A = this chain, B = another copy of it.
Amino acid sequence: MGKWCVGIDLGGTYVKFGLLDENLRPGRTIELPTPGQEGPEALVQQMVAGVRQLMAANALACGDVSAVGIGSPGPIDIPQGIIIDAPNIPGMRNFPLRDSISRALGLPAVLENDANAAAYGEYLAGAGRGTRIMVMLTLGTGVGSGIIIDGQILHGSHGLGGELGHMIIVPDGEPCGCGQKGCLERYCSATYLAMLAARKARESGREGLLAAAVNQGRDIDARQVNEARKAGDPLAAEVWDMATCYLALGCVNICRIFDPDLIVLSGGLTRAGDDLMQPLRAHFNRLHWRLTKPQTHLAIASLGADAGAIGAAGVAWRASRQH
């Protein structure tokens, strides 16, 4: 059996390729464009080409690779290895991606949700290395999450678990696209933070940097909210404080539920670095129960955009050890 596992991270724009050796050391990663309009067979071919390029870039021979993991956006059927639907790629409905890749490469393959794969990457080879229980929250368009307990990804009984972005944290709160109200992600994803700021700027009638941008019809993003805050805009400061407070509340709940060693944060909002982590930690310590001191660490992910590909390799590594 070869010493390396390969990981493929299927994104809307790029397919990323990474790998891990048997000591869980990552190799060089590469990426290729996602052939979005050409159907599933073109995607399989691109993936095979990417794996070959990855092996060349890392000077690996065929016998050096033992298994392949694929991280894909949902909805997917993990036990069957099927992409149920991929809105950006026509013809992908109910496509058996796992078995197609396995046949094309002549290697065992596993399929995993992309958020779980990224969490697994951080767990094995990133910020979560050495932890027993790790929870990752990805603060992007929404709030994605991955939960790792003793090396196992929590999927739930029907593949619907680990959706911490849809924990209700405000009864009868902001309506969410999922049909619930008050979901965590409606308060602290990068996208919703910016939306809340824009709405407040429009509705409050207050002046300031954010209000000026919004009133000129410009779109604002989370980075601009933070910049406005640092430039002294009180409305931006309020929204930033609110978002970090709700995120801290979510982290406290994660401690009550899982008592993890570590909560890893990733996604667009974490580009704010300490501007995010400092108020987050302050709110976390304030909201946390008094029965014990906080035992769970909060940290920013360390693998960046490579987490998904490295984690997919890790999922393959795990599966090959369990067989």
Q: Which residues of A contact B (CB under 8 A)?
A: 131-133, 147, 149-150, 152, 154-164, 166-171, 176, 178-181, 245-246, 249, 252-253, 255-261, 287-292, 295-296
Contact = CB atoms under 8 A, between A and B. Distances in A.
A78 to B, nearest CB: 13
A132 B296 CA distance: 27
B179 A157 contact: no
A157 B147 CA distance: 13
Nearest to A181: B287
Given A157-B131, A158-B295, A170-B171, A164 B261 contact: no
Contacts of A179: 288-291
Contact of A249 (B157, B168, B253, B259): B168
A319 B285 CA distance: 36
A295 to B, nearest CB: 4
Contacts of A160: 255, 259, 292, 295
Contacts of A133: 156-157, 161
Contacts of A255: 160
Nearest to A246: B171
Q: 10 tightest A-B contacts by CB?
A: A156-B259, A179-B290, A161-B259, A178-B289, A160-B259, A158-B295, A157-B261, A166-B256, A163-B256, A133-B157
Contacts of A155: 259
A154 B258 contact: yes
